[in-house]
Amino acid sequence: MLAAFLGGGWVADAYTTALRIPNMLRELLGEGALSSIIVARLGGLKNQPERLKTVIPQLMGMWLLILTVISVMGILLAPWMVNVVAYGFEDPKKIELSIHLTRIIFPYMTVIGLAAITMGILHHLKIFGWSTSSSTFSNLTVIVLVLLGAMKWGHDPVAMSHWIAACVVVGGVAQLVSQTPGLRGSGLSLMPSFSFSDSELKKILFLLGPSILSVAAVQINVLVNHGFASTMGDGAPASIYYAFRLMNLPVGIIAVAVSTVLLPTMTEKLQGEDRKEADKSMISAILGVSFLCFPAVVGLFILGEDLVRMLFERSEFTAQDSARAWAALQGFLVGIIPACYIKNLIQGYFSRSDTRLPLLISVSSILINVSINATIVHALEWGPRGLTFGTSIVLLLNMLFLGMGLRFKYGMSWPLLKMVKKWSLMLLMCVLMGLVVEGGRRFGHDVNIWVRVLGLTGVGAGVYLGGCWMLKKYLGVDLRG
């Protein structure tokens, strides 16, 4: 919908710039640091229900004040932030629109930050349905509002960009409100308290800063990429944004779901001093993510160009915009598996309340990313594809460092032979699936794109899952963790 109403040119560049910083903070707070820290810290108060009833309102009050200050500063400093995030913009109208949209969107930070606290509380209680579906309520709200706005401004991309920015804020409210039914019957209240007397608040704040930075590598690297892309002319930042959305399909659907359950599970086992079972949970999570993400990457590699055209190419979004988005997605393909693993590996540290080592790894990866992108942009001139490929390299290094850290700092035993055997069988089925899907794509080149993409996706899923079932049944190989 964004592609249809905003296109892939200068208006989309302005919108993605305005969304970049709040969206980065949403990723960190909504699915990362704050929620993870709350799960870890509230786990220590498991046997103190009365104290929980005191801590949570104080935490809501403290975070409400912090987020309000952040939102006000974001509105006031919008011109400065746009100049930093998109330093390559030269068109005055693009810069001005970016500033206006940033000011509209920034209050989103307050409501989505409170939603992150509620999510952490629900995860502590092991109530996952309401928390993980809240983003669905948010997106449905935005979709309905955008369609209503399109009745009046549908043919004016600039007007629609203002309307969509406002819809994002309303969607954040929907995400917060949609989680509250999950707390019914728990005896916990979300009404903010401003007494700030509980010592647990200081511990949460102490851990929060390093935690945010330790999971920030992906988002900060995307922010760096946006700055480089802003020097490449109209459409480059938007193409990376649309490609990143597709990259995040397997990351958000598969890896986030697994990591959400993994954190409280590992925290509980480690508090019971059952490190062996905690390590087994991590290995199972990695193998489970692999089982679903391997075919997802192969599918995106083969059908990605058609998928971009099917999803985006209409109205304001042209064939040229599709070509740019597909080029950017190609670079991201290498980084999907590492990004999925990182979502889970980082929980091995958060479950131990360790933020220092992930912080050092994250900062190192950011510096490496800047170096790689500077080389690609200024020396090799690879364009958006080069920027996204550089991000993938950094994700791969980040994944390796996190895995080695768990091994050497906490003595986690990685059964590599067992894992490689399972990975090999998954990849074998992916190759078979890929050959079938590629053959179908070439044979059905003239078929309607929706029929071709959806049909081949179904065929590919059947081949992969059927092949894995046969391996399990006839070869005695169990692909589960």
Which 3-state string (H, E, C) describes 133-178? CHHHHHHHHHHHHHHHHHHHHCCCHHHHHHHHHHHHHHHHHHHHHC
pLDDT in tens, the chain (481 residues): 999 999 999 999 999 999 887 777 666 655 555 666 676 666 666 666 677 778 888 888 888 898 899 889 989 999 999 998 899 999 999 999 999 999 999 999 888 888 887 887 787 777 777 777 888 999 999 999 999 999 999 899 999 999 999 999 999 999 999 988 877 767 777 788 888 777 777 777 777 666 666 556 666 777 777 888 898 888 999 999 999 899 988 998 888 888 878 877 888 888 777 888 888 999 999 999 999 999 999 999 999 999 999 999 998 999 999 999 999 999 999 999 999 999 899 889 888 878 778 878 877 887 888 888 777 766 667 778 888 888 898 889 989 999 999 999 998 888 888 899 889 989 999 999 999 999 999 888 788 999 999 999 999 999 999 998 887 765 555 555 4
Residue closest to 299 by CA, chosen among 426, 453, 443: 453
Sign, CA torsion 187/189/195/199: positive
Which 3-state string (H, E, C) describes 391-459? HHHHHHHHHHHHHHHHHHHHCCCCCHHHHHHHHHHHHHHHHHHHHHHHHHHHHCCCCCHHHHHHHHHHH
Report whether 186 contacts 130 (CB < 8 A).
no
Report whether 479 contacts 281 (CB < 8 A).
no
Where are the chain's structural domains?
Answer: 1-199, 215-481
**Helix/strand/coil percentages in the chain, nearest 5:** 80, 0, 20
Residue 271: Cβ within 10 Å count: 14
Report whether 215 contacts 33 (CB < 8 A).
yes
- What type of residue sits at position 465? L
Report whether 238 contacts 312 (CB < 8 A).
no
Residue closest to 142 by CA, chosen among 173, 118, 117, 112: 173
Report whether 321 contacts 8 (CB < 8 A).
yes
Distance CA 41, CA 263 (A): 12
